[in-house]
A = this chain, B = another copy of it.
Amino acid sequence: MKNLLLISNSTQFGSGYLEHCAEQVKSFFSGVENVLFVPYALQDLDRYADKACATFAEMGLSMKSCHLHADPGAAVRAADGLFIGGGNSFRLLEKLYRLNMVDAIRKRVGEGMRYMGASAGTNMACVSIRTTNDMPIVYPPSFSGLNLVPFQINPHFFDASPENQHMGETRETRIAEFHEENAEPVIGLREGAMLHVDGDRMTLLGKNGAKLFRRGDPPLEVKVGSDLSYLLG
């Protein structure tokens, strides 16, 4: 039974690290003793692990970072919960492949290990990283992700502003380009929003909602509390 908490952003404007989703995180990892942190999306692993583990400790949760293990893949096989933090998706995915963590994570999630991702960690859970917002600073051996859900998420999703005078593509234009080349549905998760997958059920939690993009269909606004289980099928 899969159990996933996929968060758009680890920090909400005006509040602290994981503060906006603390309630959901506590509930998600309730009773899980052996949570492992994956810090590879950022460069400074020690500092990132310190911050994340301290925040977990404040929530009454025990977490250790996989970069302190000689064999991170073995650490995954021994974990009952996993949190992959945000940062750069290309750097993170390249590291997961290089450290042979991809198959280990997929296997443990299938066995019931709880998986939480924020931002780049949420991109990892998808079919591929083809809907990340990050700069491609590192060339990974593949864009294929952990494939824990059969769709794509665009974290930090935001709507086009009519006042915007910048001519770079809007987020919706980028997702439309994705659909020119790929078929998977894309959930644009606004900051504050998160998806909870519990077996064959999926619900939108948090605040600010999401926008669902399916190839060939007009975008669909999704309200917090919505049942999105049909996207798991």
Interface residues of A (CB under 8 A from B): 9, 11-14, 43, 87-88, 90-91, 129-139, 142-143, 156, 158, 165-169, 174-175, 177-178, 180-182, 191
Contact = CB atoms under 8 A, between A and B. Distances in A.
Contacts of A139: 130, 142-143
Contact of A43 (B129, B142, B180): B180
A16 to B, nearest CB: 12
Nearest to A90: B136
A117 to B, nearest CB: 16
Contacts of A135: 130-133, 169, 174-175, 177-178
Contacts of A166: 13, 156, 158, 191
Contacts of A88: 177
A9 to B, nearest CB: 5
Contact of A137 (B14, B133, B142, B180): B180
A211 to B, nearest CB: 15
B167 A11 contact: yes
Contacts of A177: 43, 87-88, 91, 134-135, 137
